[in-house]
Structure 1
Amino acid sequence: MYTLKKSLGQHFLKDENICRKIVDALPAPEGTQILEVGPGAGAITKYLLELPGTTFKAVELDTEKVEYLQKTYPAIQGKLINESFLEVAPPFEGKFSVIGNFPYNISTQIMFRVLEWKNQVPVVVGMFQKEVAQRIAAPHNNKDYGILSVLIQAFYRVEYLFDVSENCFNPPPKVKSGVIRLHRLEEQYDIRNEKKFFLLVKTAFGQRRKQLRNPLKGLFKKEDLQDDIFTKRAEALTVADFVALSHKML
């Protein structure tokens, strides 16, 4: 058997219906390359291995779980990468989809890693702590809308799919969970300088209760700061607004 490691944020899915729903949410036509993040004890892995005509790999940091998976699912031999997802190189050439019951303690970092790989990753299906999933999916003028919402929605269309009860896990976490799906945008925003765009968004939400003129005064000319948009708060701006503003930055 295996042990649960709190330090790695491990809560394992035990509800087979939820496991199947997560896998069914991933479009996997023949030829799809799939990367699972944090397979743990293989709750969804066993279903992913059965998808016809696909190529599968999984990244798992916990050596004990790697050994367990290899003994339990012979089909996974040669498909496991025993490293941290936050440090691993892209495991495929070309495009690949990402799926996982993401470890909640690093789920935000996982999404920033996906953004680094966005040109290779057209689809993501992930389970998160519910409030993180809601933040990623939140529209503007919403209290959950923030840095994560804007940066991910600048490159992906986000769908909040369903809630997952804490009773579906062993051990039950103290929070509810949510599953979301990301599709790479077919029509890309005109982000001319990603570094500037990321800086703008992070700075704007750094003082989210204040008018944008305050946190952003070091990033724009004085005359530009007179524009009405700078009297708004960060959460009032759409992704398109942030993209347009990034074109005017110093």
Structure 2
Amino acid sequence: MSVLARRAMAEFVGTAFLVMAVVGSGVMASRLSPNDVGLQLLQNSVATGAALVALILALQPVSASFNPLVTLVERALGILDTPTALALIGAQFVGGMAGTVLANIMFGLDAVTLSTHQRAGGGLWLGEVVATIGLLLVIFGTIRSGRSERVAFAVGGYITAAYWFTSSTSFANPAVTVARTITDTFAGIAPASAPGFVLAQLLGGAVGLFLIRVLYPPVPAVPPSLPAPAPASASVRKVLP
């Protein structure tokens, strides 16, 4: 299997399990706590954040974006080429849909049921812009500060918190948004509401990319033509710490 095929498979599997965590925990929460929406959201957010930590830790050595916006920013920063980015984004969308279908079936629901949960309005769209900006800053800020091994915990913690401090409960992911249109459960979003969320996410992605470029400019490489610095003399080295 080629490297690109392995990466696409990782994105498919990771996004599928992420959506299963979102949708499945939403169904479980609504059944266990049918009269307490706040408790349902707590259960949903904790399960999603924990799943993100585990999935990123497991799949990061192969590919662990699980989000078309993250992949698009990687393309804009020159980390990925266009064919690779398109393959990963396609795998993310297909994986998200597969995750929703599996979650529906696991809980005895129809494999595909269009959501009737309307989510629209300026406040919700602003919440998606804010959630997306924050997610990108957390991901790329952690990586560019040389702490890529902590990305899983940073992202899991951020998403868990963003469920609560954003009005939209932080979808911040076009693949997950589209996938959630085919489940009429706690985590669902009506198909008519999805385009507004995706547009808000794209706007947040553009702002996030701008902030990443400003806050974390690339370190210029030393031109190879420059001679290497002369080694310090023995007398100088004696006084160096």
Q: Tell me the TM-score normalized by structure 2.
A: 0.24
Query: When you count strand as a share of all residues, which structure comes out higher?
Result: 1
Return the index of the structure with the highest Cα Rg.
2
Q: Tell me the TM-score normalized by structure 1.
A: 0.24
